[in-house]
Amino acid sequence: MNKRPQYSKAFKALGVETPVLKALQAMEYETPSPIQAELIPHVLSGRDVLGQARTGTGKTASFGIPIVQQVDPQGRMQALILTPTRELAAQVLGEIRRLAKFTELHAVPVYGGTKIAAQIRDLGRKPHIAVGTPGRVMDMMQRNVLNLDDVRFIVLDEVDRMLDIGFREDIRRILGDIKHEHQTVFVSATLEGEVSRLAKRFMKDPVELNVSKDEITVTDIAQSYLVVEPQKKISTITKILKNEGPKLAIVFTRTKHGARKLAKQLHANGFTAKEIHGDLVQQKRERVMERFRKHHIPLLVATDLAARGIDVQGITHIINFDIPEDPEVYVHRIGRTARMGAKGIAISLVTPEQGPILTKIEMLINKEIQRYDLDGAADAEVDRSAPRKKKKKKTATPRRQDASPSGNASRAAQKKQGKVEDKRANAEEAPAAGDQSPQRPKRRPLFVKLPPRRPR
């Protein structure tokens, strides 16, 4: 007797149909995650959605499923998915292709660092879905090889980053080029007031979802910190690694140079560690990521290039060798562990004067971070009231009407110019966010005032 296959009833109840249900079965997704349960029906009903969900909770499939279901295989390019980094674009593309496995849909990459000729060839084969980063997408549009005339779905993944000042003009141009009536789905782990206000300028009466509620940090992460003088950081991290014996860990540094140096030192101290940052050519970046994904490399020393959206199963530890100045970056970084309900450990090295940064992080996650006990190895005290070394300087630059307050004035002041460069470069030219490479020429920042939205 021919038995009908049993597809997930829970996904079916959300309106998901057979080809995608079949893919979900192959992917072993049985129950929708909270963001999927909320977002899928809205997108299927034609609404724009601005969604906030914790990192690692199935955001990709939440927009991937309804898009794959609604894109017409007979039509031309109908969906454009933009991410801030190539790594995230590659990962999202993989998920979309898995979801589209039992359809006639063809999804292609449009991100930098890989040979443009191959991508142009792919675009010539009448694909239906493009997943990319803003710079390469603009490039392809200018070359007239990427036609967005029929695009009906736009996704901005990690929308807070996408609407950062460095990307904003590109996004405005790309979205401004889409003439067809379309739906927008913007998602992110963090969505502060200003970004969500900006995002809404590109949307039509969006449904706003917040599946992360007050708990921004994934609850299954045991978070701790150590106070350590800068010169003791290497010996301290060595002790932590020996103490913890992590199966799979990412160690985050602030700069590319720092990542390179630390990977070398850890290697010298007997650990198998590889670096990943924007100074590596894309091919090398992908090779390192692939080996890490397969658990062939236990320790990845990374800049914030690897902080967002990257989904590698089985990461047991996140170690912040340099604590990030931006508390939201902290949330993104530690979200690489404890994916889909697994347990994880996050340990941060804090220098005595970084107390205020620690406090800001605790305020954002609404939780006190515990001190890590390492037998006196970390013997310094953190000064929570310490004034930041670099004070915000008043400049003649007028306050931008659309500038993101990002709750981080000191960082903005320190990096005013470099930030723009970094954010763009992370996706298109490779350096990671936060890197302050002295060799990089400084570009003038883009002060963009957005025009009113075009009527659709």
Binding site for ligand AMP (CB under 6 A): 29, 31-33, 36, 56-61, 311, 339-340
| Nearer residue to ligand AMP within complex by CB, 11 or 321 | 11
CB of 83 to ligand AMP, least distance (A): 11
| Nearer residue to ligand AMP within complex by CB, 35 or 358 | 35
| Nearer residue to ligand AMP within complex by CB, 62 or 183 | 62
Q: Residues with Cβ < 8 Å from 368, sequence gap 6 or more?
A: 362
| Nearer residue to ligand AMP within complex by CB, 18 or 147 | 18
| Nearer residue to ligand AMP within complex by CB, 313 or 397 | 313
| Nearer residue to ligand AMP within complex by CB, 37 or 380 | 37
Place of tokens 């306050």: 399
CB of 161 to ligand AMP, least distance (A): 15
| Nearer residue to ligand AMP within complex by CB, 35 or 357 | 35
What does the block give as tokens for 325?
A: 């100045």
What does the block give as tokens for 296?
A: 């062939």
| Nearer residue to ligand AMP within complex by CB, 56 or 431 | 56
CB of 344 to ligand AMP, least distance (A): 13
Do 276 and 301 contact (CB within 8 A), yes or no?
yes
CB of 166 to ligand AMP, least distance (A): 23
Q: Identify the sign of the CA torsion 346, 341, 96, 299.
A: positive
